[in-house]
Amino acid sequence: MDPLILVVAPLLFGGLMDLCFGDPARLPHPIVGYGRLIARGESLLNRGDTRVFKGALLCVLLVLGTGLGWWALLVGARQLSPWLGVALATFGVWWALAHRGLIDEGRAVFAAVEESLDAGRRQLARIVGRDTHKLSAAQVRTGAAESMAENLCDGVVAPLFYFGIGGVPAMMAYKMSNTLDSMIGYRSARYAKFGRVAARLDDVLNYVPARLTAGLMILAGGGQAAWRSVRRYGRAHASPNAGYPEAALAGRLGTRFGGPHDYHGERVDKPWIGDGQRALTHADCAPIVRLNHTVAGLMLVLAALLRWTLAA
């Protein structure tokens, strides 16, 4: 089989399947399985002494095991039939991407605010960790936009970047790392030690993709305002990575993210990302969605070129 087909077909069809169907609610999803493995490992290991070591061990076993497992599955499938290997890789790309889900969740928040402020607050609470019951309509929209910027890296750019480096096995290993961070990578009393390595690994793996996401957002229509915002505020976030895409979108929209928020009833003062003062309206949803679509399209092309170059 033409090697070009092995690279382009999974990206093209997997990306289209994600765009058309999103995450299949009624079908088995490997990311759900990753979550169950993490939960099981955490319940067994997160106790007693040496919790940092135990958490590191869980990360290494699950991330490497995921990558090696997908590599073995793909090798076996291609030995049976090259087309079976393409089909499995296509499903892997579909399962690893979250572009459609990210856009749907963001749109749902903007639409819910138009129904009522309480509905918007409830919808936003599905995708952010902060308390939402006191937020204004503009703050609800800002929270949705902020989440769409940050998750554009985790759910689209980073998985495609790792596909470009190592195909579906690397893509899925990244997804396992990202899932580990989302489940145990917290500074709470329960996870401060056990999840330390998971959080640091996610920071390392997102270092390049976060900056790449900001760059693509600038190219996709952010312009000089986004560029200036990234240069000034990219490093302002507590995370070493999240500030870059957030700063790019804040500059594009002429608004700002971050600031003081309540988490579980406690006030947390975060630095501001962006220097715009404009309150977001319902009309801002459409340009955010267009920007995300454009970045996803650019990243698909970049991932194909990167994979083709490394595999040649």
* Rounded Cα–Cα distance for residues 245 and 92 (Å): 25
pLDDT in tens, 127-181: 888 889 889 999 999 999 999 999 999 999 999 999 999 999 999 999 999 999 9
Comparing CA positions, the residue from 112, 135, 142 lying closest to residue 263 is 135
Q: How far is CA 30 from CA 3, 76, 299, in A?
A: 26, 18, 23
Alpha carbons 73 and 259: distance in angstroms, whole number: 46
Sequence-distant (6+) residues with CB within 8 A of 257 are: 142, 145, 146, 149, 246, 249, 250, 272, 273, 274
Per-residue pLDDT of the chain (312 residues; tens, 9 = 90+): 666 777 889 999 999 999 999 987 666 789 999 999 999 999 999 999 999 999 999 999 999 999 999 999 999 999 999 999 999 999 999 999 999 999 999 999 999 999 999 999 999 999 888 889 889 999 999 999 999 999 999 999 999 999 999 999 999 999 999 999 999 998 888 999 999 999 999 999 999 999 999 999 999 987 899 999 999 999 988 889 999 999 999 999 999 998 888 877 778 788 899 988 899 999 999 999 999 999 999 999 999 999 988 876
Residue closest to 231 by CA, chosen among 206, 142, 218, 276: 218
Is 269 in a helix, a strand, or coil? strand
Q: Does residue 262 sit in helix, strand or coil?
A: strand
Structure tokens at 280: 């977001």
Cα 122 to the center of its chain, rounded Å: 21
In the chain, where the domains are located: 3-306
Residue type, 196: R
152 Cβ contact list (under 8 Å, min separation 6) = 102, 213, 217, 245, 292, 295, 296
Q: Has this prediction a pTM greater than 0.85?
A: yes
| First-residue to last-residue Cα distance in the chain | 14
pLDDT of 233-246, one tens digit each?
999 888 899 999 99
Res 188: pLDDT: 85
- Tell the burial category of 121 from Cβ atoms under 10 Å away from its Cβ (0-12, 13-18, 19+): buried
From the list 71, 196, 203, 216, the residue with the least C-alpha distance to 156 is 216
Report the pLDDT value the prediction gives residue 25, as an integer from 0 to 100. 67
Contact 271, 258 (CB under 8 A): yes
